[in-house]
Amino acid sequence: MTAAIDLPASFHREPTIHRYFESFNRQEFTTTASLFAPDGALLAPFEDPVVGYAAILDYLQREAPGMEANPRGLETTADVDAEADDLKGHRQIIVKGSVKAVVFNVNVAWTFQLDADDRIQRVRVKLLASLEDLIQFRPQPVGEKP
């Protein structure tokens, strides 16, 4: 498990985002989940929205052990350009990087929406992979070579 991650200087101006990645990589999912607003949501690929502290903590404890996030770049916008009224006025931060696990390494983008108190209202994790990249994760029938 990673004790600390070396983030570009731009991440130090966004302490919530810095703590998200640092706690995630330390496998300190209680801390990671505590960064979300009470009704905050984690939108992971191929999953229904995971909403609220307890559900986010449970999800991370089940799905994220052994994963390592490698954020590389950060882009901030002043306000979220959202259709949903509940996100108007929130700051949006987009982070690009990769996630490494035992069986894969894939490029991803995290789109964070932070409320006025810098709590995570929503984070969407989007795979930045081609169809060819994703096919490698498809289960192979017995006897078939990848």
Number of domains the chain is built from: 1
Position 81 in a domain: yes
pLDDT (average), residues 45-53:
95
Position 145 in a domain: no
Which pLDDT does position 105 carry in this prediction? 85
Who has greater pLDDT, 146 or 101? 101
Q: Enter the pTM of the model.
A: 0.81
SS3 of the chain: the string is CCCCCCCCHHHHHCHHHHHHHHHHHCCCHHHHHHCEEEEEEEECCCCCCEECHHHHHHHHHHHCCCCEEEEEEEEEECCCCCCCHHHCCCEEEEEEEEEECCCCEEEEEEEEEECCCCCEEEEEEEECCCHHHHHCCCCCCCCCCC
pLDDT (average), residues 137-146:
55
> Is residue 51 over pLDDT 80?
yes
103: domain CATH number? 3.10.450.50
With bands split at pLDDT 50, 70 and 90, how would you rate the model's confidence at 2?
very low
> What is the extent of the structural domain holding 69?
9-135
